[in-house]
Structure 1
Amino acid sequence: MKNYTFFLIFLVSQLVTAQIEDAWIFFADKENVQQSINNPITILTQAALDRKALHNIPIDARDVPVNENYITQIKNQPGITVYSKSKWKNCVYVRGTVNNINTLLDLPFVTDVEFADKSMNFSGIHIPVEDKFAPLTNSRTQFNYGFAANQIEMLAGDYLHQEGYTGSGMLIAVLDSGFPGVDTEAGFAYVRDDGRILGTYDFVERSEILNNNSSHGTRTFSDIGGYIENEFVGTAPDASFYLFKTEDVTSETPVEEAYWVEALERADSLGVHVVNTSLGYRAYDNPAYSHTYEDLDGQTTFSARGANIAFEKGMLLVTSAGNSGSGSFPWIGTPGDSAGMLTIGAVDADGNYASFSSIGPTIDGRVKPDVMAQGASAYVINQNNEIVTNSGTSFSSPITAGAVACLWQARLQYTNAQIMQLVKESAHLFNNPTNLMGYGIPNFQTALDNLLDVENQTLSGFTIYPNPVMEKLYFVFPENGNNQINVTLYNVLGSLVLEETVQASKNFLDLSRLRNGVYILNISTENKTQTLKIVKK
């Protein structure tokens, strides 16, 4: 009996080590890091360098590509297939037997193996976590929005266009599953014939020619860049675009998260401002790879960790909340759980919650979704140049992403965090967020007005926003200057209502408890006191 038991244990062990699994393989270092940082044009485009310089975003080792020699050595290992790579996480995504994958740890440059099946990882596995978070002259633009009128006007996106902010000069990346018809149909001729589709790439097939076996990306892209005169207008019709395919519609595996992060890295290197991703991940074909609610803390999944870095790198990421609101798992998926994502839920044409829209909060209690837009019976242009309705947060996301790009166009010198905050504070439920609708439906007229008000709020290097303010008043400290200020706030009767020290590391005042009205703000540094009028709404 003992021999029989031993044989069974041995057989099970052999079966486990022989089964095919997916995993991330992390590397110890990179090649020529300092040389690349000192000469960044060798690793990033000029557009990317310009965007980083504008927002004081440092270039660091994460911008340096993965060592190709390491990748080659991994590819040459028996039974191993490499599917994707990530310079931000310094790793590759592989598939092979458990035994062959574990053997990779014998390579001197490999530091960690992280299996997609989380039960196979050591309880103490180390997962690196990064948790950081001149005005243009425009002519006014009038569009006949046609079928798209309601979904744009709900957000006051038409106001952005009327003020001349239509996305011109903004770079938007759309990460999706396929874009058939974009290269041929009339609904995309406005952007195509103007040379504003700057590039495409299929991360699944490793080709600049997209394998368009799904039209989902065509429809989501139309809500940003589509245009049929007097019939349909996307929310950022004059923007420029990169179209990236990151979805393999033939299966559901975590390699899609790896493709997605790799596409973010490509977008960052190209200088992209806004990314729309009408995608989400939770359940996989292999249930052992699926994410639990406990995983959705914004720092655990590979895609959420990538999103956090992308946000730190200065891009503004917009994503769909998901369509599981009426199911057994109603919560948002990943990467929408990341604090660095502007996660969009869906409402109907009247602004009511759409029952399919995934809900919050995250496992750690943060508000999600962030804001809402029309996703029930939203209008799109399909691959046959037909204007039709589709439902899903896949469409509320690009409708919002285009509006975000137009808002940012108005004052590109402001950061992704500032723009995201303005969008949230403009939403109709900002003071009373809910699990169904987050902060509610944003009003981009309010957001733009608040953004333009910021222009008059610079005091000797300090920038204060937003003004008017609803909840938090933010202070942008001058580079290489004071990192602490003393702040006092008086009402119009001259009574002191608040006195506080603000640090650069916690750069805001919480004014949510104040009554609405006009206040006088005094900012004192070591040798100067400055005064500013603040409006509390």
Structure 2
Amino acid sequence: MKKLLLFLFIIIFFKVSAQEDAWVFLKDKPNAITFLNNPLTMLSQRALDRRSKLVISLDSIDVPVDETYYNQLKNETSITVLAKSKWLNAVHIQGEVEDINDLLSTYNFIKSIEFANKSLNTSGKSNSKSKRIVSNHHHKFSEIETDFNYGSADNQIKMLKGEYLHEQGLTGDNQIIAIIDAGFPNVNTLDAFQRIRDNNQILGGYNFADRNTDFYTRSSHGTHVLSSIAGYIENEFVGTAPDAKFYLFITEIAETETVLEESLWVEAAERADSLGVDVINTSLGYTTYDNPDHSHTYADMDGKTTFISRGAEIGVSRGLLLVNAAGNSGNSSWKYIGAPADAPSVITVGAVNASEEIAAFSSFGPTSDGRIKPEILGQGQNPALIDYQTDEIKTSSSGTSFSSPIMTGLIACLNGNEGFILKSSGKSNSSTDNFNTFLKQAVYESADKYNNPLDQYGYGIPNFEVAFNNYNSFFNFGGSELKSLIIYPNPIKDEFIISVEDAILNEFTIQIFSVLGKKVLEKINSNSQTVNISFLESGIYILKISKDNQHKSLKLIKN
């Protein structure tokens, strides 16, 4: 009998262990036109208004996964459906390898299948080409013990000149922030969150980990993260965006480490987008998993390989500002940032201590394709937080998990400045403007090592007073000389001409930025009005022209 039980155990064990995770990518969205003609079936009015402001048109990416396709997979007895993504038009499933592969021949609406275990894929990167770096950390969000009166939060805000934004009346009151994290216990009861509860600043949330609406549960990590932005104890503690509104999403399953969490994050980001969220903070990162066959290599940190980073890039293209912790692997064998911090358009935040010295645990860049990461730094070593049990201020926890939300709050405050710009100038947004690109560039340029970035330091510690002035300068059209300035032709093959009606423009500065905020050209034009950009790759760029205290920004299309 014992032998029989052992035999059955072995069979069951191998049956369970044979389960694999995979993403099924679908060919199309048959009802796309119907949804696009009825946008409120996909997005809230606030989301549509945000798209209009940013001049981002709706397209098939916004259309939900086809319900008929999804239901057929859901009803397939040989697999289990775990998640789905409209942005990537994909369904996350689990099953045996043979059963998953059989889906390709069974359903003609399947475009391709991608296994989390890359060795099972017939195409794509080969793990033999890159050394797998084994990390000794397990939970990516682990806390390392070690005209407001800001109290205990004074240093972490003033280090970044965040008080300057607050003095300008920018406290996040017209911004919605989504926190994607591991849990928010006691946010509904702690005194430190009484202010945002009384002011109805918590708009809702969802627990993707358990598929229910109870988001005041699970890990306390999210509570501590939220306190950095929204906590308030009079004369003792103030978060960086005390008047912002919030959605709280749980995607992290703290007791395990599985690739499903990447799909849940993408689902949450899609939900945030549909609700009209402006900024997302993620104090999570993904490198290694309980199943080592699913773990990523450093080569995967290229911003376009992992499922979560692909989703993050789409999120930014929808108009979201994404802020992500760099990770706490600086002292480990992994060392580098994780996903989605590797995504090009994500604002990745590393950590310093109270004396503005780099925290040893803060993860390194660059990305595997050579891009600067992290971009900026905030206080992540022993910052002030609200304890989720005692409601008291504590400074015993460290991690980029906290420098990220501190930064998120100030970015949201700065993002709220666009309303002031439009109101004061009487100007509405047009296709020549890209608020998010300008904002990121303004923040990066304000950092103390912008001209000499380092692998762990990135561009360094930003100064939000400088960033505020830089950001405003992108929209300063007060000068008469630049008011009538145009460029032609546009789209551009090799050269374009700068023309000013009834005037000759001398001694002006030209800067050109990529849509990711990287400066690709800076020059002073003294005589010629012709600018050669034949060296640039095809794509969209932002041209900024400055003369004295006048500035004008235009969109360039390079063919």
TM-score (norm. length: structure 2):
0.80
Q: Which residues in structure 2 correspond to 1:46-195 (within 5 Å)?
A: 46-105=45-104, 106-124=106-124, 142-195=147-200
Is 1:417 aligned to 2:437, yes or no? yes
Take 2:225 and 2:523, find their aligned partners in 1: how far apart are those partners?
40
Look up the match of 1:386: 392
Is 1:428 aligned to 2:442, yes or no? no
Runs of 4+ in 1 over 3 A off after TM superposition: 15-18, 457-464, 475-478, 481-485, 494-500, 502-514, 519-525
Matched residue type, 2:67: E
Asked if the contact 1:344–1:397 (Cα under 8 Å) also holds between the matched residues in 2, the reply is yes
Asked if the contact 2:182–2:254 (Cα under 8 Å) also holds between the matched residues in 1, the reply is yes
1:499 deviates by 8.8
Q: Which residues in structure 2 correspond to 1:466-485 (within 5 Å)?
A: 482-484=490-492, 485=496
Look up the match of 1:231: 236
1:283 deviates by 0.4
Take 2:483 and 2:360, find their aligned partners in 1: how far apart are those partners?
41
Look up the match of 1:333: 338
Take 1:233 and 1:451, find their aligned partners in 2: how far apart are those partners?
25
Asked if the contact 1:204–1:246 (Cα under 8 Å) also holds between the matched residues in 2, the reply is yes
Is 1:533 aligned to 2:547, yes or no? yes
Asked if the contact 1:522–1:531 (Cα under 8 Å) also holds between the matched residues in 2, the reply is no
Asked if the contact 1:483–1:504 (Cα under 8 Å) also holds between the matched residues in 2, the reply is no
1:279 deviates by 0.3
Query: Paired residue for 2:248, among 232, 243, 246?
Result: 243
User: In structure 2, do the counterparts of structure 1 residues 225 and 523 end up closer, same or farther at CA, with 3 Å as the change threshold?
Assistant: farther
User: In structure 2, do the counterparts of structure 1 residues 149 and 111 end up closer, same or farther at CA, with 3 Å as the change threshold?
Assistant: same
Query: Paired residue for 2:328, among 303, 323, 330?
Result: 323
Take 2:481 and 2:55, find their aligned partners in 1: how far apart are those partners?
14
Asked if the contact 2:510–2:523 (Cα under 8 Å) also holds between the matched residues in 1, the reply is no
User: In structure 2, do the counterparts of structure 1 residues 511 and 61 end up closer, same or farther at CA, with 3 Å as the change threshold?
Assistant: closer
1:404 deviates by 0.2
Asked if the contact 2:509–2:546 (Cα under 8 Å) also holds between the matched residues in 1, the reply is no
Look up the match of 2:25: 26
Matched residue type, 2:192: G
Asked if the contact 1:462–1:477 (Cα under 8 Å) also holds between the matched residues in 2, the reply is no
1:25 deviates by 0.9
Look up the match of 2:472: 452
User: In structure 2, do the counterparts of structure 1 residues 185 and 482 end up closer, same or farther at CA, with 3 Å as the change threshold?
Assistant: same
State the Cα RMSD in Å. Answer: 3.4
Take 1:347 and 1:37, find their aligned partners in 2: how far apart are those partners?
45
Asked if the contact 1:520–1:531 (Cα under 8 Å) also holds between the matched residues in 2, the reply is no
Take 2:545 and 2:116, find their aligned partners in 1: how far apart are those partners?
55
Matched residue type, 1:263: A
Take 1:510 and 1:366, find their aligned partners in 2: how far apart are those partners?
14
Q: How many residues align?
A: 484
Query: Paired residue for 2:414, among 407, 419, 428?
Result: 407
Take 2:405 and 2:513, find their aligned partners in 1: how far apart are those partners?
36
SS in 1 for 2:384: strand
Take 2:162 and 2:81, find their aligned partners in 1: how far apart are those partners?
43
Report sequence identity in percent.
47
Take 2:483 and 2:367, find their aligned partners in 1: how far apart are those partners?
31
Take 1:232 and 1:238, find their aligned partners in 2: how far apart are those partners?
14
Unaligned runs of 5+ in 2: 1-13, 126-146, 420-428, 500-504, 532-543, 551-559
User: In structure 2, do the counterparts of structure 1 residues 303 and 531 end up closer, same or farther at CA, with 3 Å as the change threshold?
Assistant: closer
1:115 deviates by 0.5
1:508 deviates by 8.8
Asked if the contact 1:277–1:318 (Cα under 8 Å) also holds between the matched residues in 2, the reply is yes
Is 1:397 aligned to 2:404, yes or no? yes
SS in 1 for 2:252: coil
1:415 deviates by 2.1
User: In structure 2, do the counterparts of structure 1 residues 498 and 396 end up closer, same or farther at CA, with 3 Å as the change threshold?
Assistant: closer
User: In structure 2, do the counterparts of structure 1 residues 445 and 498 end up closer, same or farther at CA, with 3 Å as the change threshold?
Assistant: closer
User: In structure 2, do the counterparts of structure 1 residues 511 and 179 end up closer, same or farther at CA, with 3 Å as the change threshold?
Assistant: same
TM-score (norm. length: structure 1):
0.83
Look up the match of 1:129: none
